Every structure is written in structure tokens, then in C-alpha cells.
Amino acid sequence: MCFFHCISQAASTSVTRHIPCRSPVAYHAFCRSLYSPHRMTSIMSTVLGRQAGTVVGMQIDIVSVFPEYFDVLNLSLFGKAQSKGLVSVHAHNLRDWTHDVHHSVDDTPVGGGAGMVMKPEVWAECLDDLLGLEPQAITADSDTATAIETNTTDESGETDTADNTGDADETGETDTATQNSTLDGTLTDTPSEARRQTPARNLETVLIFPNPSAPLFTQRDATELSHAKRLVFGCGRYEGYDARIPAYYQAQGVDVREYSIGDYVLNGGEVAVSVMLEAITRLLPGFMGNPESIVEESYTGSEALLEHRQYTRPAVWRGMEVPDVLLSGDHGKVDRFRRDEALARTDAIRPDLIEQLDCALLSKADRKTLMALGWEVSAEHPRRLKRG
């Protein structure tokens, strides 16, 4: 098969798979985007992967009103991972699924309020295409939904379900253990914490929305999601997306997650998605040049601690010396020094991580260090002693 035939075939495959043929406006918008940098990168990655006989690994789809934002994923280790076939990235413009001349993706909040909310109709057409689903009506009588009236959000859309966007204070606090869907647009029931207690498993497709009112995205989540075959990210903007969108797809049997990346608000979900993508993909086998570099990082492993401090040459810099033990050549003492420093830093900065340690797994030296730091270690988990 010749190279140019491969390009033609890849382009036509991309068109067949992604083009929203429901309106002339969408068709022409798609044609314009076909030869954009991110689209051509996607096509070339497909072609070169086939030519080299490589197997494309994790598939990543990102929906955004600014798909060009993700051209940055062609750089550094992420770019190399794409060229090696470890990951395949497709950034989609949400406006390609609109039908009006203005390519509108938002509308005013039902019930009033400031800002605009992203419309469920546009998101649904996009996600139906990407996920290969047919439109379904969800009713209050459905076994997969409940009546419209629970928790912190309602059908009015007044709450901020943004992707770390909008005014988070207006939303109030949502239950940090929420994930399954109800018809009112909230994700309820199980989740985040319960899921984090289960071993990593092979996942098929996971649909992810950044949301400042959702459970915090952690290293455990990154580890679990690194086993997925396909990740689909939805980037919200303005006052966020209509709360019924994630609820609808959860009701369709899709594995839907909403995550916050911290207690702050951003203008859009693109930054949050970039953060999660880097945390997830760097755990893929072959992504990092030296896989051992991630073993002792902060938050890594079942007994997660903050990482010890790092130093390099020269041993003395502007009058500041590295700790003598690191120059001793005694690997046992070096390991103990680093472990003690990790415990001390975690005690000072994130004592909540110390409280999660299993005392049965602590070494005698660990126990001694923690007791010196003011922890009682005879129970199941360490407990901070009251300071006089």
C-alpha cells in the first residue's frame, strides 16, 4: 500500500468516524477542521503507525471548543509516546456538532442567573457519535434514574457543574463520594472513595468531565485510569455544562467520572484535562524513559507519602551543602535518611496521609520516626498525640 493511499484512507476513515453529517453548517465546519494541525497530526499518526506495524495503545478523545489547545500534547514525552503508538490522541471541536450559523454551544441558565450553560443537545450529538450510541429518552420511571429532586443540583442548571470553571461558591459542596447518575443530573451513590479501595482493573471506555464540585482527582485515580483502553474527556466552559449530560450517559451504562483537580476555579476544562492526562499517561509502560523514576514519587503506592527532597551536583553550591549521608556511599543509610525525610515532610505538610498508613506494614524504624514526630502507632492507623 503506497504512502499517499494510506493518507487518503486514514483521512476518509477519520471523516467516516467523526463527521457529524446532520447539517451543512456542521459539514463545512468539519471540512475546515480536517486539515487543521491537530487533525493532520492525528491522520499522520494513524498512517505512520500502520506503516510501521505498531499497535496503537490507549485511545484518547478530547472534546473542547478550543481543540488547538491540545497541540501541546505533540511535545516532549507525550509526543514521543504518540509516535511510538503508546497513545492516540484526537481533539474534537464541539462546535462541529452545532446546526446554527453562530455555532452556539451554550444558553442561559434555566431559573435565571449569571453566565451561560453548555447545552445538552450539542454535547449529546457529539458524545453519541464518539461513543457509538443511539439517542434514548430517560424517564423518571426508568430503573436507571430517579425523580428530579435530590442533592445539591436541580434541573434548573443553576448549580455550577463546570470543569473547574465558573463560580464554585454558587454550587455549594457536593458529596465527595458521588458518581452514579440520577435524572436530576447528579452523580450519586458509589464512588470515588469506594472505587479507590478496589484494585486497578482493565477498563474499556471512560467518559471524564472536570468539575470543581466533584471528588478530588488523585494518584490512585490516575493509576486506575492508566489501565483504560479509551478515555473520552469533555471540557466545559462558561458556567459549566448542563448537569443532565453526565447523568444521561451514566444511565446509558457508560463509565462516567467527574473530577476536581483542586480547590480553585479555572476558565475551562482544558487545563484540568491536560493535568489528568499527564498524570495518567506517564504511568503507561514505555512512556517514561526510566520507569524506576516513578516508583518513589509522592502519592505513589498503597502507603503513599510525600517524596523526600532531591539534590544533584555540586555537593556545595553557594555555601549550601547536600546532607553528608547522601555522599557516604552507604545505600542502607541513604534509604533510611530518605524514608525518614519523607515521613517528616508528610507529617508537616500532609498529616492526613500519615493517618492513612497501615501500622502493621510499618518497619520498626518507621515507628520510631513517627513516635519522635508525635504519632501513636499501636493502633491500626497512626494517631496524632495531643500536644501539650
Binding-site annotation: residue ranges: 236, 261-266
How far apart, in whole angstroms, are the C-alpha atoms of residue 69 and residue 72? 7
CA distances from 49 to 143, 286, 374 (A): 43, 16, 56
The answer to whether the CB of 177 falls within 8 A of the CB of 215 is yes
Going through 86-213 in order, the beta strands assigned E by DSSP cover 87-93, 106-107, 117-118, 180-181, 187-188, 203-210
- Structural contact between residues 59 and 230, judged by C-beta atoms closer than 8 angstroms: yes
Give yes or no for a contact between 98 and 267, defined as CB atoms under 8 angstroms apart.
no
Which grid cell is 141?
A: 420511571
Three-state secondary-structure class, residue 275: helix
How many helices (H) and strands (E) the chain has is answered by 12, 13
Amino acid identity, position 345: R
DSSP state of 101: T
Known binding positions for S-adenosyl-L-methionine: 236, 261-266
Residue reference for cell 463509565: 255
Residues linked to residue 230 through DSSP beta bridges, in sequence order: 59, 205
| Residue that the C-alpha cell 448537569 belongs to | 243
**Per the omega criterion (within 30 degrees of 0), is the bond before 285 cis?**
no
> Could you give phi then psi for residue 160, rounded to 5 degrees?
-90, 100
Residues 256 and 181 sit within 8 Å (Cβ to Cβ): yes
Cell output for 67 = 481543540
Residue in the structure block whose three cell numbers are 471540557:
235
